[in-house]
Structure 1
Amino acid sequence: MNIGFIVSNNKTIFFYQVAKKLESYGYKTWWLSPNKYWAKWLQDHGVPKERILDITDFGQEWESKYKLGLNERDSHDLHELEKDYTLNINNLILMDRLLSRKEYEYALSYLLVCNKYIEKFLLENNIQVVFYEATWAIELLTVMICNKIGIIACSPHTVRIPDGRFAFFDGYLQSEIIHIRNPDDKDRVQAKKYYKEFLNKKPKPKYWYLNNKTPSLKFSWFIKLYKHIILSLKGQNKFDETYFGIKWLIKNRIREVKNAWLLKVKNPFEQPNLDEPYILFTLHKQPEASVDVLGSYYSNQIETIKLISRITPVTHKVYVKEHSNAIGDRSISYYNEIKRIPGVKLIHPSLDSHDLIRNADLVITISGTVAYEASLYGVPAVTLSSMFYKDILTVNQAEIQKLNITDIIENKGQRLKIGDNIINFLAYIYANSFEGIISDPVSDPSCISEENISKTVKGFRSLLDKLTY
């Protein structure tokens, strides 16, 4: 079987180790790279050049097309991708944290050229399955191309709960886990055991601890800056539409440290009163695929909080809790704007989210794990995006304007969605997920250990075997 991987910065190192192991089992692997640096890295590590599509090789083509102007046929080519899919090109551009900052015609030119060469690459090499991280426009576009020409596109990603497991998600969202098998008695035993541990220990996923660091000046930043300068001098970031640039990196680091310092000086957060009735909404770290891609229609989080405030009864407060991994990302003025929204209290990120969840009358999130946790506690929970744990939610992919919060709060029966329903769901997760960490060696060095690669490859092989028959 021929399979493809989309290069994703440092995660490429992890994907490469997985691909190398899969090749030892007879699979053939190809690579799609949005930048020259990682294409060269793959070649330096033994991947034949003909197995790599470096899309920046065609940068002059999309730049010329942009300068000369687009025609009606160009728009038609991209519209062909939209016809039978749930994602439009304009939305795709807005989802991308970098391409959305470029001129619209330039973004379209880039996508047109990517569409042309990616489809050709997939068809000529008879690639049957593509793996990726659904973050950048080029990844989302590839998913749309795969849909058009009948190739399976799936994203390996953590299932969040239970920790240390991952599943394969169909398409660019995390709404559907690709089905591997039905749960058996062993899965139900594991589900019951884990559920008991969850209620007693209130565990956080490992990735939460790895990312839970307050920004401060680090020596590693200077090393990273030096690497980026060398990268620019060698021209390896030319036409890379996943690269922000040196100026942005410097400004962003300064902004993070400044914001983190101001938060200590001008603490905008309030203490919760767990005895008063409230609805809990948790902010997402941003930019992040969990909100910009999975929850694109609600990616303006301040406006989303305003919508929640509009439909919340006056009997309840809206507690907005900052994400502990996002300290430094947002300015004081951002928090002050949230605090001006009627009925809203801004809650400190360090407070125990499990206590806030269990005392809430309702939990609302765009796509966050907090709704998953709330459902396990039997607390009514709503997601604004369609999520894979939809079966245990009160409302999945809610339209805020149509959400009747009063009915949900007053329907105490919603808190009875525990027991067999939870166990059945967790058993399904165990049956259709695998042990292993999907990450990159910068965020989590253990992801490229021999033990973890063996575990994750076992999951990849289970999926590929399933797809073969």
Structure 2
Amino acid sequence: MEILILDVSTTITLLHEAIALRSVDEELNISVVYFNKTKFKKSRIPSKYYISFDDELEKEDLLKSEILAKEIYDKYNFGISEALYLDRYRKKDRVHSQYYLRYLLRIDSLLSNGNISAVIGEVALGYEVMTYYLCKKYDIPYLVPSNIYAFSTPRMVFFDREYSDKIIRKVAEYQRNLGLNVEKDLINRLIEERKSIDINRGIGSQMLNFIDSDVLKRLWYNLKNYQGADYRESLLYKFNKRVGNFINKSINRIYFNYFGAKLDQNKNYIFLPLHIQPESTPDTIATYLSNQFELARNISLSLPPNFELIIKEHPNNYGVRNIFQLLKYAQLPYTNFISPKTSSSIIIDHSEIVVTIGGNAAIEAILKGKKAIVLSNIHHSNLSGIYKARNYYDLKSLIKSLVGKSIDQDDRENSLIEYYTTIYSGSFPCVWHQPLMAKDILEKKNIDNIFLGIRKSLQALKG
């Protein structure tokens, strides 16, 4: 049984290697697919693959890749152009269609041999999404690791590409059969605690909590061993991008300090938190509703009397949009653009409805007894109090029908209890993300827990 891990982010390479080394001498063999030649050569794990994007394709191979790309487009409605859109902002002009055609052929040769039991990867980049669709073609589970911070300690859970709860429910059932039962009063307490917690924890505070001397050693080891010439080449682009973001952020800060919206307790609000973009949730899951300005415009034109729209930039996207883009939003009718430093928790308290493409603001809303509208299939879209809009007409009708409508608090509480119970039962106590920053993430206990989680998830899927 072989598992492939797609090693995309340099910052998570050490974690991938630790997991793969943990699988040596086990019946579960974990291999890592590298896209960086330097990382591939330096890797210490015995089972590894290297996929190059630079090799020229022969005419026959090019034809095969084009057929694969057309098959994915016809069957799953995801094309090369969407993959290009997701990746171009990271790699700028170096990304082109040949890049993906080469990748499709290489990864298809790995997946089609019948030896791969599952693939572990993210869904943020274009070729990760294309890998997922190839996995669907060969009926191979594509597991997306995600840390859940709703509990006293971080727990990891695997979602599938559509963010449905299929995988966690199967794992939950598998664990319950082993005698693991989660008491509902425990989940109730967690929900009550969660209501009073400001979920917007900034990266700065996380870094202060996690940074220690071991982190600096890991960072230096990673830079020394795994950063090849291709990474150094992109450093200048990243530096220029950071400078541009710093300038935008400085100008935006002046705008928000002097002209930004302030919450008024006497006003009725509908809250729209923006997503980072390009990003998989707005751009591949909710493709036809991914234009966030058009979304804001349609909400502003659908506002009931005496209501205003309040918009907040995603904290991790602060500085990406320039002042002219912010003003474009702010000039919409009855629309307020609030500082990204304002707590979403406080904004939700002042709002009657939260509208999000697929963010956690929807869960935050129903935890506080508010109503939420989502525009995509996400793991919490079936919770009581969350409503789904398939298009702008649905959205307008939902806003109109939800204003002044009360939600059944018993249904809301029961659905939250079921949701968190399922998450808890189907998850594992470990940390997956930010291996360079998170304390103790590479310790044996954490790696053992991740390995156990992978194995149990696969057993549940097989069963």
TM over 0.5: yes
Listed one character per residue, the Cα deviations across residues 411-466 of structure 1 (whole Å, up to 9, x for unaligned) are 22366642222212221211222222221323434432333223322322211222
Q: Mapping of 1:36-115 within 5 angstroms?
A: 36-42=37-43, 45=44, 47-48=45-46, 51-56=47-52, 59-62=54-57, 75-85=66-76, 87-98=78-89, 102=93, 107-115=96-104
Distance in 2 between the 1:205 and 1:465 partners?
35
Give the match's secondary structure for 1:412: coil
Distance in 1 between the 2:437 and 2:374 partners?
27
Kindly tell me: are residues 357 and 308 of structure 1, through their superposed partners in 2, closer, same or farther at Cα, counting changes over 3 Å? same
2:213 corresponds to: none
Post-superposition offset of 1:317: 0.3
2:312 and 2:338 in contact (8 A); partners too? yes
Which residue of the other structure, out of 394, 397, 406, is the alignment partner of 1:402?
394
Q: Give unmatched runs, 5+ long, in structure 2.
A: 209-215
Listed one character per residue, the Cα deviations across residues 349-379 of structure 1 (whole Å, up to 9, x for unaligned) are 2223212212311001112111111112221
Kindly tell me: are residues 464 and 425 of structure 1, through their superposed partners in 2, closer, same or farther at Cα, counting changes over 3 Å? same
Which residue of the other structure, out of 310, 325, 329, is the alignment partner of 2:316?
325
2:158 corresponds to: 168
Q: Give unmatched runs, 5+ long, in structure 1.
A: 213-219, 238-242
Give the match's secondary structure for 2:238: helix
Q: Does 1:210 align with 2:206?
A: yes
Which residue of the other structure, out of 190, 194, 199, is the alignment partner of 1:194?
190
2:212 corresponds to: none
Give the match's secondary structure for 1:336: helix
Distance in 1 between the 2:65 and 2:114 partners?
25
Distance in 1 between the 2:317 and 2:65 partners?
40
Distance in 2 between the 1:409 and 1:416 partners?
20
Distance in 2 between the 1:92 and 1:160 partners?
30
Give the match's secondary structure for 1:274: coil
Distance in 2 between the 1:74 and 1:199 partners?
50
1:174 and 1:388 in contact (8 A); partners too? yes
Listed one character per residue, the Cα deviations across residues 141-194 of structure 1 (whole Å, up to 9, x for unaligned) are 2111111122221111124534612211112x3233412134675242331121
Distance in 2 between the 1:287 and 1:445 partners?
29
1:467 corresponds to: 461
Letter in 1 for 2:36: N
Post-superposition offset of 1:326: 2.9
2:65 and 2:105 in contact (8 A); partners too? no
2:2 corresponds to: 2
Kindly tell me: are residues 41 and 289 of structure 1, through their superposed partners in 2, closer, same or farther at Cα, counting changes over 3 Å? farther
Give the match's secondary structure for 2:143: strand
Distance in 2 between the 1:107 and 1:427 partners?
44
Letter in 2 for 1:35: N
Listed one character per residue, the Cα deviations across residues 185-215 of structure 1 (whole Å, up to 9, x for unaligned) are 5242331121121124445568695389xxx
Post-superposition offset of 1:311: 2.0
2:65 and 2:104 in contact (8 A); partners too? no
Q: Mapping of 1:48-447 within 5 angstroms?
A: 48=46, 51-56=47-52, 59-62=54-57, 75-85=66-76, 87-98=78-89, 102=93, 107-124=96-113, 126-162=115-151, 164-171=154-161, 173-178=162-167, 179-182=170-173, 186-204=182-200, 209-210=205-206, 235-236=229-230, 245-267=234-256, 268-392=259-383, 393-396=385-388, 398-403=390-395, 404=397, 405-413=399-407, 417-447=411-441
Letter in 1 for 2:401: D
Count of residues in correspondence between the two structures: 439
Kindly tell me: are residues 446 and 174 of structure 1, through their superposed partners in 2, closer, same or farther at Cα, counting changes over 3 Å? farther
Distance in 2 between the 1:433 and 1:69 partners?
41
Give the match's secondary structure for 1:195: helix
Kindly tell me: are residues 325 and 126 of structure 1, through their superposed partners in 2, closer, same or farther at Cα, counting changes over 3 Å? same
2:357 and 2:374 in contact (8 A); partners too? yes
Post-superposition offset of 1:386: 1.2
Listed one character per residue, the Cα deviations across residues 288-339 of structure 1 (whole Å, up to 9, x for unaligned) are 4444444444443222211222222242100101233333222111211110
Distance in 2 between the 1:335 and 1:244 partners?
32
TM-score, normalising length: structure 1: 0.83
Kindly tell me: are residues 378 and 323 of structure 1, through their superposed partners in 2, closer, same or farther at Cα, counting changes over 3 Å? same
Give the match's secondary structure for 2:382: helix
Post-superposition offset of 1:7: 0.6
Distance in 2 between the 1:138 and 1:148 partners?
15
Distance in 2 between the 1:416 and 1:408 partners?
18
